[in-house]
Amino acid sequence: MKDSPMVTMKAARAVQENPSVKTLYFDYGLGARPGQFVMLWLPGVGERPMSISYCTRERFGVSVADVGGFSSAVMKVKEGDAVGFRGPFGTSFKLGKEKAIALVSGGCGCAPLAFLADEALAKGKKAFYLQGARSKGMLFFTERMRKAGAEVLVSTDDGSAGKKGFVTELLREVLQKNKVDKICTCGPEIMMKKVVDISNEFKLPCDISMERYMKCGIGICGQCCVDPLGIRMCTEGPVIKKETAKKITEFGKYRRDASGRRVPI
Ligand code: FES
């Protein structure tokens, strides 16, 4: 386990991406890898793990979905407000010799995958950026990804943008028409389970980002251990290979809340 000192600084930018997602940017060289997270701290509110959605030498961003409690407090943060963070923590998506990768997200899962797409494109790889959302108004980062040079495909539940239906159907279409070397996914576990099934069908490697309730974020408290392996998703995760996910019996079935009780997914 490796902790990192808390840094407190003013948010350089606060962008409302859609009605329930906000991105906070900090002018700080975090040196993070795609898929890692920071522990974000709001004075008087508390601390929670948040996905890094953007990272350059000088600036990084975290994107936060409003699911109540701490995240609702983040929605009120404005440019210039003081915020603390520790990190980066956790495992990251790995890129090797792949020429083309497919990034498949649902909901706020697009946050780490946008960061990964930036890195893949900078390395000259082709990136298919597939994003599923409830409706057009919930999509974000798609314009950023188009401008960066990714091939962007979207699906919505109501058909208000892109293909009506599941993002996994888009993945199947992309794989049927293109040579893709690796899949990376982040989002609801039911979706990621389907992505893993499709990756098996097409015999492709697949990395997933598996989120669990965290307290310490650095491997001490045991809150984020998963059944039956007992690995900690804050240190041995959140990014794991599909072969590891296959051994985690709770993947796609249940998670644990703050008190350790099982909650069906
Ligand atoms: S959050 Fe404490 S061990 Fe992972």
DSSP label of 109: G
Q: 237-263: buried (b, 16+ CB within 10 Å) or exposed (e) per residue?
A: bbbbebebbeebebbbeebbeeeeeee
Give pLDDT, residue 4: 83
Q: Residues 121, 214: one domain? A: yes
Cα–Cα dist 43/84, whole Å: 8
- Here the CATH number for the domain that contains residue 42 is 2.40.30.10
Across the chain, what does the average pLDDT equal?
95
Q: Which of 54, 89, 124 is the last residue of a domain?
A: 89
Of all residues in the chain, the percent with pLDDT exceeding 70 is 99
* Number of domains the chain is built from: 2
Q: Is residue 2 in some structural domain?
A: no
Of all residues in the chain, the percent with pLDDT exceeding 90 is 94
- Here the CATH number for the domain that contains residue 173 is 3.40.50.80
Ligand 1 pocket test, candidate residues 213, 231, 234, most atoms within 8 A of CB: 234
- Other beta carbons less than 10 A from residue 6's beta carbon: 12
Q: Which of 25, 54, 89 is the last residue of a domain?
A: 89
Q: Within 13 Å of residue 23, how many CA atoms lie on the same side as its CB?
A: 20
Residues 6 or more apart whose CB falls under 8 angstroms from that of 70 comprise 42, 45, 46, 47, 48
- The ligand 1 site (C-beta within 6 Å) comprises 214-217, 219-224, 232, 234
- The rounded radius of gyration (Å) of the Cα atoms in the chain is 17
1 pLDDT tier (thresholds 50, 70, 90): low
Give pLDDT, residue 26: 98
pLDDT at 265 over 90: no
**For 252-255, which contacts have Cβ atoms below 8 Å and span 24 or more sequence positions?**
252/189, 252/190, 252/192, 252/193, 255/212, 255/213
Q: Which of 34, 54, 89 is the last residue of a domain?
A: 89
Q: Residues 13, 105: one domain? A: no
In tens, the pLDDT along 54-111 reads 999 999 999 999 999 999 999 999 999 999 999 999 999 999 999 999 999 999 999 9
Q: Give the residue numbers spanning the domain of 148.
A: 100-264
Nearest CA to ligand 1 atom 3: 219
Q: Which helix (H) or strand (E) holds 15?
A: strand 13-18
- Ligand 1 midpoint to CA 11 (Å): 26
